[in-house]
């Protein structure tokens, strides 16, 4: 039994023409979809194509018109009010009229537009808050916001990943910057820290280290948290003095400086205890164990106490 095949051969010009037609059809489809998501409104004599971002007791509409973002509130009676932020010609300062408009529309529920910005995300959050307050059947998921903290700390370390024959502990100090989310990912955080460890008379090694890591709060209460740290990248600049015997009875001392970039994956523990509205006392026990850094034989000692505050 024989099968027959039909082969169609296209020239390069025909292929290019076909591709142009496909691109044209795709652009036409995207344009049609975009227009289909907009409606035409007459606002103070202007005919505007606006997108509906939020629907509820108050609707939020917007679009980019002549390269400018314009925002509108539609009330229950279908009237439209534009949110504007004009500049005073004399003082050159923005007058934030949109905040007054929002306050007048939402005053019955005691909301304040003081911190609202004239951006789509900020306006959407505020209108959603009003709609959920004024209508028990209106549900929405608040947008997660990125938060940050800055801290300083100091403590003692025996540099467990450095050759330390006498197991000498030295003081260290540093600073940390932490970022985290306030919603679904509130247990997770990223951090960078900078720490400097000093040398001692019998341990001539000092270092300054920049670390990047991940933090997980397995206990996360409003007034305290306990978490695990994983420092996965470190860049260390260090100075050390080495004394060795060159000949019997003859010792040579050499000073050595260098830097290292590593991915050690160092584990540690910590806790933040809230003591003021925006401040926390922090306790840390770091450098417990590393996946890709050799422990030099001493039990890890790396304790720190510090203070953090919300930015």
- Structure token pair of residue 182: 């306030």
Residue 8 counted as domain residue = no
Domain of residue 227, residue span: 146-310
Parallel, antiparallel, or unpaired for β 250-262 and 170-181? unpaired
Query: The domain spanning residue 153 has which CATH number?
Result: 2.40.160.20
- Residues 18 and 22: their CA atoms lie apart, in Å, by 6
Residue 252 counted as domain residue = yes
Q: Is residue 64 domain-shared with residue 125, that is, in the same domain? A: yes
Q: Is residue 197 domain-shared with residue 306, that is, in the same domain? A: yes
Q: Is residue 154 domain-shared with residue 275, that is, in the same domain? A: yes
Residue 34 counted as domain residue = no
Q: Is residue 126 domain-shared with residue 150, that is, in the same domain? A: no
Give me the tens of pLDDT residue by residue for the chain, a chain 311 residues long.
Answer: 444 444 445 555 655 565 565 555 555 544 444 444 578 887 888 888 888 888 888 999 999 888 889 999 998 888 888 999 998 888 888 999 999 999 999 888 888 888 899 998 889 889 998 898 888 888 776 666 788 999 999 999 999 999 998 999 999 999 999 998 876 678 899 999 999 999 998 889 999 999 999 999 999 888 899 999 999 999 999 998 877 666 676 667 778 889 999 999 999 999 999 999 889 999 999 999 999 888 888 999 999 999 999 98
Parallel, antiparallel, or unpaired for β 266-274 and 59-65? unpaired
Q: Is residue 113 domain-shared with residue 175, that is, in the same domain? A: no
- Residues 274 and 56: their CA atoms lie apart, in Å, by 38
- The radius of gyration computed from the CA coordinates of the chain, to the nearest angstrom, equals 31
- Residues 218 and 238: their CA atoms lie apart, in Å, by 34
Number of domains forming the structure of the chain = 2
Q: Which of 134, 163, 198 is the last residue of a domain?
A: 134
How many CA atoms lie within 13 Å of 241's alpha carbon, on the beta-carbon side?
10
pTM flag (> 0.75): no
């Amino acid at each position: 039994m024989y099968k027959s095949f039909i082969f169609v051969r296209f020239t390069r010009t025909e292929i290019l023409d076909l591709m142009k037609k496909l691109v044209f059809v795709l652009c036409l489809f995207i344009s049609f979809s975009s227009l289909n998501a907009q409606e035409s409104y007459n606002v103070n004599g202007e005919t505007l194509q606006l997108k509906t971002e939020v629907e509820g007791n108050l609707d939020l509409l917007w679009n980019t018109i002549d390269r400018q973002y314009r925002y509108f509130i539609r009330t229950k009676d279908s009237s439209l009010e534009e949110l504007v932020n004009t500049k005073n010609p004399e003082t050159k300062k923005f007058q934030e009229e949109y905040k007054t408009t929002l306050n007048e529309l939402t005053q019955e529920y005691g909301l304040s537009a003081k911190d609202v910005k004239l951006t789509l995300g900020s306006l959407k959050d505020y209108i959603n808050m009003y709609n959920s307050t004024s209508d028990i059947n209106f549900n929405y998921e608040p947008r997660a916001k990125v938060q940050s903290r800055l801290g300083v700390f100091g403590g003692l370390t025996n540099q467990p990943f450095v050759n330390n024959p006498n197991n000498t502990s030295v003081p260290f100090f540093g600073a940390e910057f932490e970022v985290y989310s306030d919603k679904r990912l509130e247990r997770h955080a990223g951090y960078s820290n900078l720490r400097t460890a000093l040398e001692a008379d019998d341990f001539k090694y000092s270092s300054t280290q920049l670390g990047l890591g991940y933090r997980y709060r397995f206990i996360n209460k409003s007034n305290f948290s306990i978490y695990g740290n994983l420092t996965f990248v470190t860049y260390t600049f260090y100075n050390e003095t080495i004394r060795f015997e060159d000949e019997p009875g003859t010792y040579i001392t050499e000073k050595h400086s260098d830097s290292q970039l590593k991915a050690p994956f160092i584990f540690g523990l910590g806790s933040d205890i809230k003591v003021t509205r925006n401040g926390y006392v922090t306790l840390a026990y770091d450098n417990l164990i590393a996946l890709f850094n050799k422990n030099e034989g001493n039990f890890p000692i790396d304790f720190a106490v510090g203070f953090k505050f919300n930015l």
